[in-house]
Amino acid sequence: MKRLVLAFVALALLATASYLTRGGLVLALGFAVAKACIVLVVFMELGRASATSRAALAVAVALALLLVGFAAADVATRDTTVSVP
């Protein structure tokens, strides 16, 4: 119980910090990753899950990161110059 309450306090502090320092996307996502890790490890007990369960989640997260990363990289690096004939 104490472990769960401490995790919630940490989540609340991170959420407050995220709100107070709003502005940068990278920083905001950093806080979000930290909060997600606390939920995964403490509340969802990822450490107690079987290796196959952890692998299923890891593959999904890796594919999600690839999809999001390539989508952003594609749009950000497109040459939008229109050539006039």
Partner 1 sequence: MTPEGSESHFASLEQQAHAARFGTWAFLASEVLLFSACFALYAGARAHDPAGFAAGIGESAKAIGTTNTFVLLASSLCAAIAVESLREKSRKGAVLWLSATMTLGFVFFALKLYEWHEHWIKGIVPSARSPFFDAHPNQRPFWTLYWTMTGLHTLHVLAGVSVLAILAVWILRDREASTYEHRLSNGVLYWHLVDVIWIFLWPLFYLAGQR
Give contact residues for partner 1 (rule: CB under 8 A).
1, 4-5, 7-8, 11-12, 15, 18-19, 22-25, 28-29, 31-32, 35-36, 39-40, 42-45, 49-50, 52-54, 56-57, 59-61, 63-64, 67-76
Of the pair 45, 84, the CB lying nearest partner 1 is at 45
> What gap in Å lies between CA 17 and CA 31, rounded to an integer?
8
**Least distance between partner 1 and beta carbon 83 (Å):** 20
Report residue 16 as tokens.
Answer: 């407050």
What is the DSSP-derived secondary structure letter of residue 41? I
Report residue 46 as tokens.
Answer: 């990822």
Residue in this structure with the two tokens 């401490």, named with its chain if needed: 6
